[in-house]
Structure formats: C-alpha cells, structure tokens
Amino acid sequence: MIPHLSERALILAPQGRDAGIAAAMLAEKGFASIVCSSVTMLLDELKAGAGFGVITEEALRDADLNALSQWIQTQPEWSDFPFILLTVRGGGLERNPAAGRYLDMLGNVTFLERPFHPTTLISLAQAARRGRQRQYDARARLEELHSLAADLERRVEERTREREQAVEQLHEAQKLETLGQLTGGVAHDFNNLLTPIIGALDLLQHKVAGNDARIDRLIGHALQSGERAKTLVQRLLGFARRQVLQTDAVDVGELLNGMRDLIVSSVGPTIELRLHCAADLPRALADPNQLELALLNLCVNARDAMPEGGVLTVACDQALVSPGEDAKLAPGLYVRLSVIDSGEGMDGPTLARAVEPFFSTKETGRGTGLGLSMVHGLAGQLNGAFTLSSSPGNGTRADLYLPITHQPRRADQARGGGRPAPQNQLMTILFVDDEELVRKGTAEMMRDLGHEVIEAAGGEEALAKLETGLEVDAVITDYKMPRMDGGELARRIRRDRPGLPILLVTGYTGVAEPVLGLPRLNKPFGLLELAEALNELGNGENEDNVVPLHGHRERRGPR
C-alpha cells in the first residue's frame, strides 16, 4: 500500500455542498482527503488505499452497492475499513430505521446526524484514523508471523528432507553392511572349496608335468579358472569394503590393456574407448584387484555421464609432483591413471561433493553413491591421491595418482613357473582345520614338500594332542572354526608354549583380528604359496618370539 494514500479520507457526497464542507473541515485539522463523485470512484480509491470514508446516506440510497459490498466482505483478515455515514436531518437509527441496513453492509460504520458540529466530525475522523492505524499495526504483526511461519515451515521441510536423506543413507549403509557380511561368509565357504581343488591340481601338475601335453594343458586351464574364481571373490569383497589391500608392483599399462574388453563391454557400443599409455612406465604400488575395480567404477561413471554416447579416454603416464605443488601428495614421481569423458560435466557444488560417501546425481536405484568415495579411499590407503576436474558441458577428468615402486612383482613367480623352492627346514607340523577336504588336501601338499603332518579336526582335538606331550615344530590352524576358532587356539598354545611358531590360515579375506601378530596365509592357495609360507615360518619370519626347531630332520626332498 502507498504510504501517502493509506491515511487519507474518501468523501462520497454527490449532492449539495456536503462534500466541500467536509473536505474543508478535515483539511483544517491536517487530514488529506479526496472527493469521490460515485460509488465506482469510491471503490477504485479504496483499492488504492485510504484511512476512512465519509459517506452521505443519499449517496448510497439509489446506487448499485454490490461491488462495494463485495470489497468489504473480502477485505484481508487484518482490515475492517471504518466508515462515517452522514444521515439525513433528524435521522438517527431510532428515528430513521432505513439507515440500519447500511450497518449490515458497511460493517465498521459510525452514524453522524446532520446538521453536525465540526468538532464532532473531526473527533470521529480521528477515532477512525487511529483504528485504521491499529489495523496497519496488526497487518505488520501478521505479516511477521506469516514470515516466521513460512520460515518455520521451510526449516521443517529442510529438516524432513535431511532426515529422509539420512534414513536413505542409513539404509544404504545397512544394505552394504549386510552385503559385506554375506560376502564374507560366502568367501570363507567358497575359498574352502577352492583350496583343495587348486591344491590337488597343483600336485597333479607337478606330478605329471611333461608326460602328456594335453593333460598339462587341461590342468593349466583348470588352475586358471581357479585363479579367476579367487579373483571374483576378492572383487566382491572389495565392493563391500571388506578386502585387505594386498599391494604389489603393478604394471598399470599391462593391467589397462588386460581390461580393454571388460571396459568395452561395460560402457556399451555408443562409447568410443581410447587407451593411451606412456612407454617405459615404472611400476606402481597398488592392489591390482582393487585398482581394476576402481578403474571399472570410473569408466562406468563416465558412461553414465554420456547418455547419448561420446568418447572415453583412459590414459596412464608418469607425473612429477614438485614440493608445495599439491597438498595431498608428497613430492616425487607417481604413475597417473586418468579417465576422461566428453559428457555433461559437473558444476562447482556437485564437484565439491562428488567424493562424499552416498552422494550421487543418479536417480534412486541406480548406484549407491560409493564408487568415487571408494576410489578416493583406495588412493589414500596407497599414499596416493584422487582428483576430479569438471565443468558443465566440458566433461570430467578423474586422475588417480599411485606411488612408484621398484620392488619385484610377486606375480613374476606365478604358479606354473616350476617347482617350489626346496624347503629350508623340514618340520613336524600340527595342522588344524574343521573342513575334512581342506585338511586332507593341504596335509598332502605339505607332505609332498617333505614335512611330517599330524592332523586335527578342531581346536579341542589339537590341544588334546599337545597335552599328551606331542612335540611339533609348528602349528598351522584355520581361523574360522566352530566352538574354538584359530585365534583362541593360538592364544591357548602361546600360553603354554610361547615360542612355538603358528601360522593362521583363513578363507575369510576380510579384516581378521590381528591374533598375537601371527602370519597369515589366505585361502585358496597353491603349492608355491604354501611352500613360501612354510619357509618363512621355519625361518622365524613374521614372529616375535620363535625358538629353534626341535630335532631338525634332514631334508628328504619333495616326494
């Protein structure tokens, strides 16, 4: 409402001199006013704004009052517009009942009989203006209350959305935790099944090597399938964040080329894949399985950013980080793995939250929002870094920095490359596993390496044998067993024989408890891995308190 109009008087007195006289009286006392020639003009000025109205009875007698009545009835909740009605001479409500109908229509009306004294008109005008000002005050308070209510409603909606998001995140976390528990149990059982299979195939391969090329080829294919099954479980656990990093010296270019077909099938036919890898690239320190999973996550994210198709570039090169150049990285050389798409890109706020757990721009049901956070976490575990650069319409570039290593690659001693190295120390071993197939198969592998093996089907049986005075050079025990697990068995043995070497074998490749700093051998394993673990155990590696082996036997050599 316009301030200079909000307190003026509107005068409707079309007959005689009443309008001019009323306007002059009001002006003398400082009231602004405007004389209206008709009810229509009065209504227009009411809509523009006014403090009160002065109306003669005869101005309303023969006029169409429907529009005025409608305006009065639809006033805002804070408004009750005041009218002063000038009645005919001698025509109060008691002596002029016809004027009463205007009371019902006008609502907030004061009657003034003519002739009237100027003081009376001014007194009524002042009272009407004060009442209108109080209405304006009420309007201000109501507007403030409405503003507060709207702000409160907005805050409630925001808190409700935040709560819904928190509940969704909780559900995602619970779903992921359930998946992790499920895969952990499946991995234990699956790896238990794979262990005797891979062990038996290893023994067969070394027994019949060179005798029959077809049999050699079939056994080799079976061993490769076993390795692929082992890798499958590791990737599943990696997705569920239950996988312990097993770092190695990784040829990133070789890994990238080996994943070409997998990436092509994952991104689909509408994406053009370009691979670029610098020559003579040093090896990076990484977990190859986790690195494959991270690369696949980045490629799938890039695919989703190009719904109409586009170009996906995956490159690896060597990057030099100078002192002070990047707060996330120590100065030095790194292998940089880059995934670049030509997609939609991200704005600043989205880019800032991109690596937050559970944050996702995809619709519900298409992803957990954990892909980039997993890559970010992997980079941190490896003492590297993960960076994103993007802008709307210009695609996204993801760079994974991996530290360079000069250590030899364990894969260079892969299975099938010859017989395991001769055992440095032949031992009498107490082997404990509740799974008969695993126990029998692994015992045969150790015997093939020249060791003497006493078997026990559980922790209680193993302790009973030791309590009878059984002398052994080492104990090898499964970790997950009913009634007494390998951790409890190891603690009981250490209490009575603190120097006895113990090796923990586990089919659960998650984060097992660090039982007394025991060395671990993960299932499934072949002859080579078992031989290396036994050599380390016999030499006292990974043990804090290892006593000399009793009664060392001369090496008989593998059978």
Quick one: angle between helices 118-208 and 213-239, nearest 10? 160
CA nearest to 510, candidates 323, 252, 251, 237: 237
DSSP state, residue 318: E
Sequence-distant (6+) residues with CB within 8 A of 213 are none
Tokens of 465: 């044998």
What are the pLDDT tens digits along the chain (559 aa)? 555 688 899 999 988 888 998 999 999 999 999 999 999 999 999 999 999 999 998 888 888 999 999 999 999 989 999 999 988 755 555 666 666 677 778 889 988 888 888 999 999 999 999 999 999 999 999 889 888 988 899 899 988 888 887 777 677 556 656 655 666 666 667 777 777 787 778 777 777 776 777 877 887 888 777 777 776 666 555 544 455 667 889 999 999 888 888 888 888 889 999 999 998 899 999 888 888 888 888 898 889 889 889 999 999 999 988 887 766 788 889 999 999 999 888 888 877 766 665 555 555 444 444 457 778 777 888 888 888 888 888 899 999 999 998 887 765 544 444 556 666 788 999 999 988 888 888 898 889 888 999 999 999 999 999 999 889 999 999 888 888 888 899 999 988 888 889 998 887 655 445 555 788 888 888 888 888 888 888 776 544 433 333 333 443 333 3
Q: Report the C-alpha gap between 526 and 220 in whole angstroms.
A: 13
- The number of CA neighbours under 13 Å toward the Cβ of 495 is 8
Using CA atoms, how far residue 119 sits from 21, 386, 495, 524, in Å, is 13, 85, 111, 109
Maximum Cα–Cα distance for the chain, whole Å? 141
425 with 539: CB under 8 angstroms?
Answer: yes
Query: What is the DSSP pairing of strand 385-390 with strand 396-403?
Result: antiparallel
443 with 455: CB under 8 angstroms?
Answer: yes
Give the torsion sign (CA, 315, 318, 320, 321): positive
Q: Residue 508 class from Cβ within 10 Å (0-12 exposed, 13-18 middle, 19+ buried)?
A: buried
53 DSSP β-pair partners: 10, 83
- Range list for CATH 3.40.50.2300 in the chain: 3-116, 420-538
Sequence-distant (6+) residues with CB within 8 A of 40 are 67
DSSP state, residue 343: S
Q: Report the C-alpha gap between 518 and 494 in whole angstroms.
A: 11
DSSP annotation string for 180-247 = HHHHHHHHHHHHHHHHHHHHHHHHHHHHHTTT-HHHHHHHHHHHHHHHHHHHHHHHHHHHTT-PPP--
Instruction: Find tokens 């023969």 and name the residue.
Output: 62
CATH for 3-116, options being 3.30.450.90, 3.30.60.50, 3.40.50.2300, 2.70.70.10: 3.40.50.2300
- Residue 339: per-residue pLDDT: 93
For the full predicted model, state whether its pTM sits above 0.75. Answer: no
Quick one: angle between helices 436-448 and 527-538, nearest 10? 70
Q: Report the C-alpha gap between 72 and 46 in whole angstroms.
A: 10
Q: Report the C-alpha gap between 216 and 210 in whole angstroms.
A: 7
Q: Report the C-alpha gap between 83 and 81 in whole angstroms.
A: 7
Sequence-distant (6+) residues with CB within 8 A of 326 are 385
- Residue 556: per-residue pLDDT: 37
Q: Report the C-alpha gap between 396 and 398 in whole angstroms.
A: 7
- The CATH class of the 252-403 domain is alpha beta
Write down the CATH number for the domain with range 420-538.
Answer: 3.40.50.2300
Instruction: Find tokens 């399938």 and name the residue.
Output: 225
- Residue 164: per-residue pLDDT: 84
Tokens of 331: 């100065």
